Structure formats: structure tokens, C-alpha cells
Amino acid sequence: GPRPRPPGGSGGAVAAAAAAGGRPPRPGRAPRAQRPAEVPARRGGCGEPGVAGGRQPGLSALHLFGDPAEVEALRGSLLAWYDECKRDLPWRVLAVTEPDVNRRAYAVWVSEIMLQQTQVATVIDYYNRWMQKWPTLQALAEASLEEVNELWAGLGYYSRGKRLQEAARKVVSELAGQMPRTAEDLQKLLPGVGRYTAGAIASISYGQATGVVDGNVIRVLCRLRCIGADSSSPPVIDRLWAMANALVDRSRPGDFNQALMELGATVCTPKAPLCGECPVKQHCRARLRVEKELALASRKLLGKLPVVPDVEDCGVGGCPLCPPAAELWDSSLGVTNFPRKAAKKQPRVEQTATCVLERRGRRGALEYLIVQRPSSGLLAGLWEFPSVPLAPGLQQEQQREVLVDHLQAWAGQPVAAGSLRFIGEVVHVFSHIHQTYVVYSLSLDGDVTLDLASSPSRWVTEEEFRASAVSTAMKKVFGESWDFPPLHLLGS
């Protein structure tokens, strides 16, 4: 999922590198060929046949990086900006100074796991302490889980630390201490390493020309290419991976990937992107669109007829990357029209009649009937007051009848609809259901025998009710019935 990587402070450990003003050398690391022979000098974007994520029949040029010269220019601008503006972070220093390839991959891996769900500023200190304590896979493999959890304390999502250690043990015991050498193998062989983390480790520590897609990359790419379809949908995610793989700079893939993420974290931010300062603004089609709109608006203001028709989408009918036709471009949002996530599904609206059935118990205390829900489905196995779902649109009288029918079985005696007392309505929102309980109460006289053939049920005192496995919704229902002048105080 998307990882927050907002701007943060820089670590003390990197002061030297920062002071050196520029990229620290990579001692002992074999220099990578600037342009390996098998890679053409200009490796292009999505529209170029033969390139990963290449030509897509039916996709408008609006969404593609079809011009190799533009791709090259974009890479250059982004990398130049990164070299100048990147935040100095301890793992970035290790990624370029650590000569041992396994140690380097391990250092990047630890940072990537810590950065999942956690902000850069928080991670720095944990990262430095971790790497000091366990500078190698072997050291981590020998640590106890207790120690790992202690160091992880406060970082959250504890299973991350545990899994990291388990994976380190696996590398040491099953892979002879050698980290898998490609993104594919990293993902395949290391527990807890997904597509993103594998791509990050492989590009940053091995120089493999493979892209990454995290929340920041999603945002930047969707804006660069006006992708407004649901950015969490599989076709869009696939398309973004193809784009990231095609765009990644062949000679500096790790820096390119970090640059793209850094851009999303510091410039192309979710709510207030700094387009004026953006190094790739001349390649950004969301920005182009905003500028066109402004130009159009000012022409209209001047009373001139628009010379360019207003373009609403890419012109491809049923385009899988454009926003749904119903969701029009919102001019007030500008470039933040992209990316879009599907609107949350509206919860289903349901109504349930429920009855607080009470009797005077043997010891004189009031008792309430609760019944157990089925062992599967919503609120499985929890206890509740006898309840029955109501069809939509029933009048109050009809609701009473439905409830009375349902209650006869429980009460073991005929119940007159008129003896039900309406208490009120209680609304409870489950994750996907907006449930309204229409609450009634009914006081029973005399001995009541329960039909043991139906669902499990029992009479409970108020205290027992509160101690029972009842849902929050039912506690609300019970509270509602107590907010009313209780039946038993009115006397009957």
C-alpha cells in the first residue's frame, strides 16, 4: 500500500556526506556501465513497441510516454533535481557507501520495512540504532525476538520486525547468507518482501533497472499522465507498474526510483503540490490541462470565442485510465483531480425491529430475554434482544405485526400488538451496513416458558446483560430503553 514519506529531518549520521556536497563515492562498488551495450541509448516510454509496458492499442497518447526524447528529458530533469535537493537519510548514505553487496541490500531492506506505514522523521532514529546493533544479516539472525521487539517498540506494526528477523534467519540458514540478487527472487524467496520492497532493494542496492510503485509514485504518475480512473483498481495499478518499469533510468535506477518517490513526498504532495517548483512540470499533463483551462477562462472573460474546444477526456471511448464519465473534472481542484480513488461504497441501509422483552424474575429482579445469533455471518454468535429484519417501507403498524409474529415463539404466549411499547430508534453503523433498530419493549406477566427447540436464549439481569457477549449496537438499544421511563417503574 501507499507509504507516507513526508518531508523529515536529516539524520546526524549523514552530516559528513551532506557536508561533502554531493554524492558520496561508492568505494569498492564496481562502477556500473553508463549504458550497457544491450540497452539502446534511448529507451522509451509506454508507446514504444518492445519496451516494458509498451504499445497499448486503445490507449490514448495522453496517458503514454510515447516520445523517447521526452522520456530522456524527464529522467534527466528528475535526476538533476534529486542530486541537488534530496534529503540526506542514513539508509541513502549506506546504499552508496557500503561496499559489501549483502550488507548494502540488508541496509536498504531494513529501511524499506521500517518506512512502511511510518514517517521518515520517526524512522531515522530507529534505523540508526538498529544498524548499529545489527549491522549485518548474521547479527540480526542471532538476535532474540525479545531484543528485536524491544528495539522496535514505538515503531508500531510489530510483526514487521519479527518478519524481518525471520527472513534474515532464512537468508543465513538457507541461502548461505547471500541476499537474492534480483527483484523477482527477492519477492519469491523472502517472507514479507512484496513487489514494491523487492523493486526498491534491487534497484537501490544492485542497480537493477526495475521500477517501483508506492503511494507517492502513484500520485506523480497519475498526474503526469492524467490518469483519473480508480488508482487502486488492478488495471490502473498494472498500468502504473508498466510505466514505472519503462520510465526508470537505465543507468541510475535506484536514484531514479528514489527521486520519483521524493518528488511525491516533497513537491507533488497530495493536497498542495508545488507545481511551480516542480522539475518535471514541462512533462506534466495535469498541469498542462490546468493551464489550458485558465487560458480558456481568460479568453472567455475577454469576450473572445474559445478557439480550442474544451477537452473532457482523452477521446477514447470507455478509456480504462480516464475518470468515469459521471465524475467530471473539478476546476477548483486543479492537478489534484488526479489521482482518484473509487468513492467508498455507500453502506447498505437496513432496518430491524427489536424488542426488549422483560419479566419479573423469581428473585424479584427484572430480567431480559437475550437470544444468540447464528454462528456465522454478521455479529456471529453474539447475543441480542429478539430481533427481526424489516422489509423497506413498512408502516409502523405493519412493523409491530412482524415483530409480534416473531415474539410469540419466544414469549410462549399470545402477544397483542397493542401491548408493545415503542421506545425509539437506535442507529448503528457497521462497516458496510447502516442499521436502524426500531426498539420496542414488552413486559410479560407470569411464568414464561421458553421454546428450547429454537435458537439458544436466556433470561439475564441487567448486570448479566452487561457482562454478556452482546454487540455494541445492543448495548445502545438497552441504553435507549433505559433512557425512557422504564416500564417497571411505571408499574403495570
Active site residues: 112
Residue 213 as a binder of ligand SF4 (CB under 6 A): the answer is no
Q: List the single partner that 105 binds among ligand SF4, Zn ion, none, CB under 5 to 8 Å by kind.
A: none
Residues in 36-95 at the binding interface with Zn ion, rule: CB under 5 A:
60
Q: How far apart are CA 269 and CA 274, in angstroms?
A: 8
Under rule CB under 5 A, residue 224 binds Zn ion:
no
Q: Is 287 in the site for ligand SF4 (CB under 6 A)?
A: yes
Compute the least distance from the CB of residue 194 to ligand SF4, in Å: 25
Pick one of 52, 222, 224, 404: the residue that binds ligand SF4 (CB under 6 A): 224
The single residue listed with the C-alpha cell 562502477 is: 31
- The nearer residue to Zn ion, 318 or 364, going by C-beta atoms, is 318
Residue 65 CB neighbours (<10 A): 23
Contacted by 322, from ligand SF4, Zn ion, none: CB < 5 to 8 Å by type:
Zn ion
Selection from 227, 255, 252 nearest residue 241 by Cα:
227
Q: Which residues pair with 435 in a beta bridge?
A: 350, 428
Amino acid at the residue 59: L
Distances (CA, A) of 453 to 267, 361, 449, 464: 67, 22, 12, 23
Q: State yes or no: residue 74 binds ligand SF4 (CB under 6 A).
A: no
Q: How far apart are CA 258 and CA 205, in angstroms?
A: 12
322 binds Zn ion (CB under 5 A): yes
Residue bearing cell 557536508? 19
Count CB atoms within 10 A of the CB of residue 306. 11
Nearest to 244 by CA among 264, 260, 231, 255: 260
Least separation in angstroms between CB 246 and Zn ion: 18
Q: Is 319 in the site for Zn ion (CB under 5 A)?
A: yes
Nearer to ligand SF4, 171 or 275 (CB): 275
Asked if 226 interacts with ligand SF4 (CB under 6 A), we say no
Contact status: 267 vs ligand SF4 (CB under 6 A): yes
Q: How far apart are CA 431 and CA 87, in angstroms?
A: 39
Pick one of Zn ion, ligand SF4, none as the site partner of residue 281 (Cβ within 5 to 8 A by kind).
Answer: ligand SF4
Nearest to 223 by CA among 379, 333, 373, 93: 333
Give the binding-site size for ligand SF4 (rule: CB under 6 A).
14
Does residue number 339 form part of the binding site for ligand SF4 (CB under 6 A)? no
In the bound complex, what is the minimum distance in angstroms from residue 246's beta carbon to ligand SF4? 17
Please tell me the distance from the alpha carbon of residue 491 to that of residue 472, in angstroms, as a whole number.
Answer: 29
- The one segment of 193-201, 311-319, 323-331, 421-429 that binds Zn ion by CB under 5 A: 311-319
Q: How far apart are CA 3 and CA 261, in angstroms?
A: 10
- Interface with ligand SF4 (CB under 6 A): 220, 223-224, 267-268, 273, 275, 278, 280-281, 284, 286-287, 335
- Interface with Zn ion (CB under 5 A): 60, 314, 319, 321-322
